[in-house]
Amino acid sequence: MTTARSAAAGPGGQDPTVVPRSTPPGVIAGGSRGSAGSPANRYAPPRERQWPDRGREDESSEGTHEAADQRYWVTALWTVTWYAVPLALAAMWIMLGGAGDQRGSALGSLRGALPTAAGSLLISLLMAAMLRWAGRTWRPIWVGFAAAAVGAGVATVVFSAITGQSLS
DSSP readout, 134-166? H-TTS-HHHHHHHHHHHHHHHHHHHHHHHH---
Distance between CA atoms of 47 and 60, rounded to whole angstroms?
A: 21
pLDDT range class, residue 14, cuts 50, 70, 90: low
pTM: 0.57
What mean pLDDT comes out for the span 115-121?
A: 93
For residue 46, the SS3 value is coil
Distances (CA, A) of 142 to 30, 52, 71, 137, 145: 44, 21, 12, 10, 5
| Higher per-residue pLDDT: 15 or 44 | 44
Distance between CA atoms of 156 and 113, rounded to whole angstroms?
A: 12
Distance between CA atoms of 55 and 58, rounded to whole angstroms?
A: 10
| Higher per-residue pLDDT: 81 or 36 | 81
Please say whether the beta carbons of 87 and 124 come within 8 A: no
Q: What is the pLDDT of residues 119-164, one digit of tens each?
A: 999 999 999 999 999 887 889 999 999 999 999 999 999 999 998 8
Distance between CA atoms of 91 and 95, rounded to whole angstroms?
A: 6
Q: Which amino acid is at 87?
A: L
